[in-house]
Amino acid sequence: MQQEPNFNPMKRAITVLIVLLSFITFSLQAADTLKIAYYESPPFVMETEDGLEGISVWLWENIQREEEIPYTLVNLPLNETLDALKNGTADMSINPLTITSQRSESIDFSTPFYIASSTVMINKVSGIQKALQFGRSFFSLNFLRAIFALFVVILVFGFLAWLFERRKNPEEFKPGIKGLWSGIWWSAVTMTTVGYGDKAPKSTGGRIIGLIWMFAAIIIISGFTASIASSLTVNQLSWNQSNIQDFKEKTVATVSNSATAKHLERNFFKDIQTHQNLQACLEALRQGDADAVAYDRPLLSYIHKQDSIDSFALLPIDFNEQIYAFGFSKTIPKSTQDAISVQLLKTTESTDWKVLLNEYALINE
């Protein structure tokens, strides 16, 4: 007679319990693994052959070493990083995010770890280019129009003087083309107040024309001189921008949805050109599609120092002070945020932090 298999209820219960505990443990570990978003932003986050490097990466590695928080990295541009933190598809960003009231409504921030400002970068202009631009200001369309208008006025008053003088003063204002040229000569000499005295009207009509032309010439020459001075002053100022307001009428490239972009929008800059990342902004500047790049000073300063062909100039302009911190999704536990913030504070109080900033020349930024 065949014996029934013996199923031990206790063994079955233990097996089910082990499987259940394993599943729960795996689920908890997965839930506790932080999904960290990042995007390249030298010198804070840089992608190299050996992996990620930079100031923010160093900070996170120190925090993670102390807290032993499991994590995974996901590469997202700034716009998508902010969206991911808002909707909870990313838990944290190790890039330095500027703390703003608008962002604080949808994401949390760690303890601040750096204070920066925005600045402006332009294409470097050589001495030859400045000289050529200075010369071109004398031959601009407006300048040539002014010269033409001045010549027409000289011609008109020279013709009127000749018209009155050709009969009563034929010695100095002969009939025909030669006499007309004498009238133009007299008109030009009178306007410039050279006063050669070789031509002078003697008729009543000629002297009235001369009197009108003397006063009119003073006004015309004053206006013409002011126009030239204004043109040269504007040309000089174009190389000596010292305020962000000097770029209000120019095309300024910046990273979309950044704190700098928001500042430019709030201050009514007319031509803001936004790009997905800083490299795209610099390419627009290099190609001449933008007059300047406005963005965070630490990032632009680092790029300027790495500029081997010396093609960019960093201007002494600071605006829109910013406070950097790590960004958190509001969905992650407050205890995790606090633990990271405490370790971040400890790390930035260390001597190693000051040494690191000094290595990247950011200690006095």
Tell me 319's DSSP state.
Answer: E
Q: What pLDDT, on the 0 to 100 scale, is given for residue 37?
A: 97
Predicted confidence (pLDDT) per residue in 317-338, tens digit: 999 999 999 999 999 999 999 9
Contact between 81 and 37 under an 8 Å Cβ cutoff? The reply is yes
- CB count within 10 Å of CB 304 equals 17
Q: Give CATH superfamily name and number for 123-128+242-320.
A: Periplasmic binding protein-like II (3.40.190.10)
Which residues, at least 6 apart from 79, have a Cβ–Cβ distance to it below 8 Å?
A: 256, 257, 276
Q: What pLDDT, on the 0 to 100 scale, is given for residue 226?
A: 76
- CB count within 10 Å of CB 225 equals 10
CATH 1.10.287.70 domain span(s) along the chain: 132-237
Rg (CA), the chain: 37
Q: Which residue has the tokens 């003087």?
A: 161
The first and second tokens of residue 65, run together, are 């070493």
Contact between 288 and 324 under an 8 Å Cβ cutoff? The reply is no
Phi first, then psi: give them for residue 293, nearest 5 degrees: -115, 125
Instruction: Tell me if residue 187 falls in helix, strand or coil.
Output: helix
Average confidence (pLDDT) per 10 residues, the chain, 365 residues: 53 58 42 88 93 95 93 94 96 96 95 95 75 63 79 90 86 86 89 81 88 88 74 56 87 95 94 95 95 96 86 92 96 94 95 93 66
Predicted confidence (pLDDT) per residue in 78-128, tens digit: 999 999 999 999 999 999 999 999 999 999 999 999 999 999 999 987 666
In sequence order, the β-bridge partners of residue 275 are 255
CATH 3.40.190.10 domain span(s) along the chain: 9-115+330-359, 123-128+242-320
Q: What is the pTM of this model?
A: 0.66
Fold for domain 9-115+330-359? Answer: D-Maltodextrin-Binding Protein; domain 2 (3.40.190)
Fold for domain 132-237? Answer: Helix Hairpins (1.10.287)
Candidates 43, 30, 25; CA nearest to 72 is 30
* Consecutive H or E run containing 109: strand 107-109
What CA–CA distances, in Å, run from 214 to 184, 189, 192? 14, 10, 9
